Structure 1
Amino acid sequence: MPAPPLSPGDRVALLLPGSTTYVEHVLALLRAGIHPVPLDPRSTSRERERLLAVVDPHHVVERADDLAALAARCGADHGPPRCRPMHCTSGTTGTPKGVDSGLLSPADAASLVAEEADLWGFGPDDVNLVLSPLHHSAPLRFALGTLLAGGRVVVPGGGEQRAFDAAEVTETIRGLGTARPVTMFCVPTHLQRLFAHWDAVGVPDTSAFRLVAHAGAPCPPAVKRRLLELFPAGSTWEFYGSTEGQFTACRSEEWLERPGTVGRARPGRRLRVADDGTIWCTVPRHARFGYFGDPDRTAEAWQGDAFTVGDLGRLDDAGYLFLDGRREDLIITGGVNVYPVEVENALREHPGVHDVAVFGVPDDHWGQRVCAAVVGTASAEELDGFARSRLSPPKRPKEFRPVPDLPRTATGKVRRSELQ
Structure 2
Amino acid sequence: MTPALADLQPGDRVALLVPGSTAYVDVVLSLLAEGIFPVPLDPRLTPHERERILANLQPARTITAESQLPTLVTERKRELPRGRPMHVTSGTTGTPKGVFSGLLSEDNARRLVAEERELWGFNATDVNLVLSPLYHSAPLRFATGTLLAGGRVVGFDSDGRQPGFDPERITQIIDDERPTTMFCVPAHLQRLLAHWDAHGTPDLSCFRLVAHAGAACPDVVKRRIINLFPAGSTWEFYGSTEGQFTACASEEWLSRPGTVGRARPGRTIAVDDDGQIWCTVPEHARFSYFNDPDKTAQAWRATPDGPAFSVGDLGRLDTEGYLHLDGRREDLVITGGVNVYPTEVENALAEHPLVADVAVYGVPDEQWGQRVVATVVGTASEDELDGWARERLAPPKRPKEYRFSDELPRTLTGKVRRRELAAEADDERP
Q: TM-score, normalised by structure 1?
A: 0.79
Written as runs of structure 1 = structure 2, the 5 A alignment for 1:337-352 is: none
Identify the residue that residue 41 of structure 2 maps to in structure 1.
39
Identify the residue that residue 105 of structure 1 maps to in structure 2.
105
Pick from 293, 296, 312 the counterpart of residue 295 of structure 1: 293
- Secondary structure of the 1:402 match is coil
- Secondary structure of the 2:217 match is coil
Identify the residue that residue 164 of structure 2 maps to in structure 1.
163
- Secondary structure of the 2:211 match is strand
Identify the residue that residue 340 of structure 1 maps to in structure 2.
none
Identify the residue that residue 136 of structure 1 maps to in structure 2.
136
Aligned CA distance change for structure 1 residues 277 and 10 (closer, same or farther; 3 Å): same
Pick from 305, 321, 324 the counterpart of residue 323 of structure 2: 321
Q: Is the 8 A contact 1:371 1:399 kept in 2?
A: no
Aligned CA distance change for structure 1 residues 54 and 246 (closer, same or farther; 3 Å): same
Q: Is the 8 A contact 2:26 2:77 kept in 1?
A: no
Q: Is the 8 A contact 2:21 2:156 kept in 1?
A: no
Q: Is the 8 A contact 1:369 1:397 kept in 2?
A: no
Q: Which amino acid aligns with 2:115?
A: E
Pick from 229, 234, 256 the counterpart of residue 236 of structure 1: 234
Aligned CA distance change for structure 1 residues 290 and 369 (closer, same or farther; 3 Å): closer
Q: Is the 8 A contact 1:88 1:99 kept in 2?
A: yes
- Secondary structure of the 1:263 match is strand
Whole-Å separation in 2 of the counterparts to 1:397 and 1:162:
37
Identify the residue that residue 406 of structure 1 maps to in structure 2.
none
Whole-Å separation in 1 of the counterparts to 2:428 and 2:92:
22
Aligned CA distance change for structure 1 residues 225 and 279 (closer, same or farther; 3 Å): same
Identify the residue that residue 152 of structure 2 maps to in structure 1.
152
- Secondary structure of the 2:259 match is coil
Identify the residue that residue 127 of structure 1 maps to in structure 2.
127
Q: Does 1:312 find its partner at 2:339? A: no
Q: Which amino acid aligns with 1:254?
A: E
Whole-Å separation in 2 of the counterparts to 1:309 and 1:369:
19
Bigger Cα displacement from structure 2, 226-235 vs 59-68: 59-68
Written as runs of structure 1 = structure 2, the 5 A alignment for 1:254-265 is: 254-265=252-263
Whole-Å separation in 2 of the counterparts to 1:356 and 1:184:
20
Aligned CA distance change for structure 1 residues 13 and 199 (closer, same or farther; 3 Å): same
Between the two proteins, the alignment pairs up a number of residues equal to 356
Aligned CA distance change for structure 1 residues 192 and 140 (closer, same or farther; 3 Å): same
Pick from 208, 218, 237 the counterpart of residue 220 of structure 1: 218
Identify the residue that residue 412 of structure 1 maps to in structure 2.
none
Pick from 273, 277, 280 the counterpart of residue 278 of structure 2: 280
Query: How many angstroms does 1:187 deviate by?
Result: 0.2
Write the deviation string for residues 313-333 of structure 1: whole angstroms up to 9, x where unpaired: 100000000111134339xxx
Pick from 19, 23, 26 the counterpart of residue 24 of structure 1: 26
Write the deviation string for residues 193-216 of structure 1: whole angstroms up to 9, x where unpaired: 111111111000100000000000
Whole-Å separation in 1 of the counterparts to 2:257 and 2:196:
25
Identify the residue that residue 269 of structure 1 maps to in structure 2.
267
Identify the residue that residue 15 of structure 1 maps to in structure 2.
17
Pick from 66, 69, 76 the counterpart of residue 68 of structure 2: 66
- Secondary structure of the 2:330 match is helix
Q: Is the 8 A contact 1:360 1:371 kept in 2?
A: no
Identify the residue that residue 427 of structure 2 maps to in structure 1.
400
Aligned CA distance change for structure 1 residues 264 and 372 (closer, same or farther; 3 Å): farther
Q: Is the 8 A contact 2:215 2:369 kept in 1?
A: no
Please provide the CA RMSD for this pair: 2.6
Write the deviation string for residues 251-277 of structure 1: whole angstroms up to 9, x where unpaired: 011111111100000011000001111
Query: How many angstroms does 1:398 deviate by?
Result: 9.2
Identify the residue that residue 84 of structure 1 maps to in structure 2.
84
- Secondary structure of the 2:153 match is strand
Q: RCO (CA 8 Å, sep 6+): is it higher in 1 or 2?
A: 2
Query: How many angstroms does 1:63 deviate by?
Result: 2.2
Bigger Cα displacement from structure 2, 125-134 vs 163-172: 163-172
Whole-Å separation in 2 of the counterparts to 1:48 and 1:370:
30
Whole-Å separation in 2 of the counterparts to 1:43 and 1:221:
34
Q: Is the 8 A contact 1:25 1:67 kept in 2?
A: yes
Query: How many angstroms does 1:160 deviate by?
Result: 1.2
Q: TM-score, normalised by structure 2?
A: 0.77
Query: How many angstroms does 1:78 deviate by?
Result: 4.4
Aligned CA distance change for structure 1 residues 221 and 148 (closer, same or farther; 3 Å): same
Write the deviation string for residues 333-387 of structure 1: whole angstroms up to 9, x where unpaired: xxxxxxxxxxxxxx99xxx9677659999558999485597xxxxxxxxxxxxxx
Whole-Å separation in 2 of the counterparts to 1:208 and 1:127:
10
Whole-Å separation in 1 of the counterparts to 2:122 and 2:110:
15
Q: Which amino acid aligns with 2:243?
A: G
Aligned CA distance change for structure 1 residues 124 and 372 (closer, same or farther; 3 Å): farther
Write the deviation string for residues 229-253 of structure 1: whole angstroms up to 9, x where unpaired: 1100100000000000000000011
Identity fraction in percent:
63
Q: Which amino acid aligns with 1:269?
A: R
Q: Which amino acid aligns with 2:301?
A: Q
Query: How many angstroms does 1:77 deviate by?
Result: 6.2
Aligned CA distance change for structure 1 residues 312 and 5 (closer, same or farther; 3 Å): same
- Secondary structure of the 1:144 match is helix
